[in-house]
Amino acid sequence: MGKLLHKLSYWIFRHAQLTIALVMLLLGGISWWNCWVNRRAFFINRA
């Protein structure tokens, strides 16, 4: 388990920019999805 964690932290360190980009993309996607779902629920509740 420690070896895997070491490999993962090493990969993140090696590919810091890529990791940050992936995380930001993921967060952006989640927030966009939440916004879309909330908007849909809002319109359904109004009807």
Q: Where are the domains positioned within the chain?
A: 21-47
12 contact partners, CB below 8 Å, separation of at least 6: 19
What's the pTM value of the predicted model, to 2 decimals? 0.55
How confident is the model over 4-40, as pLDDT tens digits? 999 999 988 999 999 999 999 999 999 999 999 999 8
Check residue 47 and give its pLDDT: 63
pLDDT band at 46 (very low <50, low <70, confident <90, very high): confident
What percent of the chain is helix, strand and coil (3-state, nearest 5)? 95, 0, 5
